[in-house]
Structure 1
Amino acid sequence: MGDLLARFELDDAVERLYRLAEEAERAGRLREAAVHFRVAADQRLGDAAVRLARVLFALGEEAEARRWCRAAVADGFPEADELVLENSSARQRFLEHAARIMVGAPTFDWLPSGMPAHRIAPPVITSRTRALRALDRRYGGIACHASVLEHLATVEPVVVVGDAATWTAVAEVYELAGWTAFDSGMPGAALPHFARALTLARQAEDEALIASVLARAGRMFLHHNAPEDALKAFQLGLVAAHNSWADRRALDDPARAITSLATTVDTYGDDRARARAIALTALARNHLALGDEAGATEFAVKAVEAARDLRSARAEDHLRWLDQEARAAGASVLAEHMSARSARCN
């Protein structure tokens, strides 16, 4: 009788640890989850070995993760083999996703688990992100990763009802979640955050943020001895950075900007009308900066047409800057065209 009672108490304690491990995993405390899952796996409780292997892969502890996968398969959990394959190709899948981002292919393959209870203004999101980033810089990722995940859980649902500013703000939270996961020793957990940051940054057409995310991913790959994958991430990030430079308002080198923009504007189809309108406007402004009023007017006409059905403050800003620059340069034909456009909009 005593042996049965002791066994019952042991099983109950192991099940409690399993539930604690689940809670810790959901909260992003993966090292704590691994400790609890390891005890449950040692006692061969259900799928604990599979759950432990998944957490260990996220922590970058591949050798031990593979051992537990073999144990799980032996105990009748064949899905553990799929877990090994999934992990081995994680970086490759991320880089393929990044490449699709760079050519503008549809990438929004996920949605938040629930609808937002209320709207959160982008400046509110950004303010909290900035404070958490300051903590990361001062105290390290381990000190603030859990808080970043809490922030992410709060703001993620608003992407469903958001606009470009919202997508950028939430993408920055995902970027920080990936970065602090990496700094907390959880490279496997970082990749999904970086991937979603890229997705949202592309939705917002924020090339500078895309470049930033890819640079951080590249640094993580280098740290974990994957120089070839790091190089691919850096190369893709360089393209995004170059695009961002070409689209920016300061016209430091118009000829170079025109060369860059000319190679990218035709890659934007109807599904990326905002990006096309902004790129065409940038081409017009750069031609104007070189004194080519005819070329500037030609691209301005195309930009106005591309923006015809848009509701985008960013696109409007670019067109407004072009209007201002045309007036300042005394480009009468272009200025008249922009004035006519403004009159139609009003």
Structure 2
Amino acid sequence: MSELLDRFEFDDAVERMYRAGEAAERAGRLREAAVHFRVAADQHLGDAAVRLARVLFALGEENEAAQWCAAAVQDGFSEAEELVLENSLKRQRFLEHAARIMVGAPTFDWLPSGMPSRHIAAPEIARRTAALRALDERYGGIACHTAVLEHLADVEPMVVVGDVPTWTAVAEVYELAGWTAFDSGQPGTALPHFAHALTLARQAEDESLIASVLTRAGRMFLHHNAPEDALKAFQLGFVAAHNAWADRRVLDDPPQAIASLTTKVRTYDEGRSRTLALTALARNHLALGDVAAATGFAAEAVASARNLRSARAEDHLHWLDQEARAAGASVLAEQISARPARSG
């Protein structure tokens, strides 16, 4: 009888460890979750080995995670094999997403689960992000990662009703969430944050932010012994940084800007990115006195913008119109002013 009671109490204790692991995982305390799941997995309790492997992959402990996956398969949990494959594909899918971002392909395949309960202005989001970034810099990611996730939960719904400044501000929160996850020893949870940051940064056409996110992802890959993936991330980040430089150089150094923009515009399909690049080409050719070339690029820009509802693109076309009138390029100016008015 005593042995049965001891066994019952032991099984109950193992069950409590499993539940504690679940609670820790939900709260984002992955190392604590791993400790609890490891005890349960040692006793072959249910799917504890699968749960442990998933947490270990998120922590970047791939060798131990693979061992527990093998143990789970032996216990009859065949889904553990898919977990190994899923982990091996994570970086590849992130880099493929980043490559699509760089060529301007549609990538907005995700939306927050709910609508905002209150309006949070972009400057307010940015102020809180800056404060959390300062904490990360001084005390490290572990000290502030939970606070960053709370901030993210508050501001993420603003994506649904936001504009360019809001998308940029929320993208910076996602970037910080990814960075502090990495610094907290959770590289597997960092990648989705970085991916969402890239998506929003592209939506805002913020090449500098895209370059920043890719550089941080590359540093994470390098830290976790994936130099080839790190190199790919750095290369994509370099392209984004070069694009950001080209955007800033518009009208400051027209020949160099034209060379960069000519390469850049070939990567874009019709839409905002292509419209902005074509307008910049027209402005730089106009600055060099090549009215014919400027007029040709302006015509392409107007055509590319015909289905756009973008205040930013409209501003750039307006600046081109003003510069054309100042330069006496009447045909070019008429071409711009004759475009259909943007609605909404």
How does the TM-score come out when normalised to structure 1? Answer: 0.89
Q: How does 1:14-33 map to 2 (within 5 A)?
A: 14-33=14-33
Identity of aligned residues (%): 81
Q: How does 1:36-75 map to 2 (within 5 A)?
A: 36-75=36-75
| Corresponding position of 1:285 | 283
| Corresponding position of 1:145 | 145
Report if the CA contact (8 A) 1:21-1:37 is conserved. yes
Structure 1 runs of 4+ aligned residues shifted over 6 Å read 342-346
Report if the CA contact (8 A) 1:28-1:149 is conserved. no
- 1:116 to 1:234, Cα distance in 2 relative to 1, 3 A: same
Root-mean-square deviation (Å): 2.6
- 1:48 to 1:99, Cα distance in 2 relative to 1, 3 A: same
| Corresponding position of 2:213 | 213
Report if the CA contact (8 A) 1:247-1:278 is conserved. no
83-92 vs 102-111, which moves further: 102-111
- 1:81 to 1:345, Cα distance in 2 relative to 1, 3 A: closer
Q: How does 1:225-304 map to 2 (within 5 A)?
A: 225-248=225-248, 250-270=250-270, 273-304=271-302
Aligned-pair CA distance for 1:150:
1.4
Structure 2 unmatched runs, 5+: none
| Corresponding position of 1:160 | 160
Structure 1 unmatched runs, 5+: none
- 1:324 to 1:83, Cα distance in 2 relative to 1, 3 A: same
Amino acid across the alignment from 1:243: N
Q: Distance in 2 between matches of 1:235 and 1:158?
A: 31
Q: Distance in 2 between matches of 1:287 and 1:108?
A: 33
Amino acid across the alignment from 1:193: H
- 1:327 to 1:134, Cα distance in 2 relative to 1, 3 A: farther
Amino acid across the alignment from 2:294: A
Amino acid across the alignment from 2:273: A
Amino acid across the alignment from 1:285: R
Aligned-pair CA distance for 1:333:
4.6
Amino acid across the alignment from 2:308: L
Aligned-pair CA distance for 1:169:
2.1
- 1:316 to 1:69, Cα distance in 2 relative to 1, 3 A: same
| Corresponding position of 2:310 | 312
Q: How does 1:178-197 map to 2 (within 5 A)?
A: 178-197=178-197
Amino acid across the alignment from 1:54: R
How does the TM-score come out when normalised to structure 2? Answer: 0.89
Aligned-pair CA distance for 1:331:
4.5
Amino acid across the alignment from 2:319: W
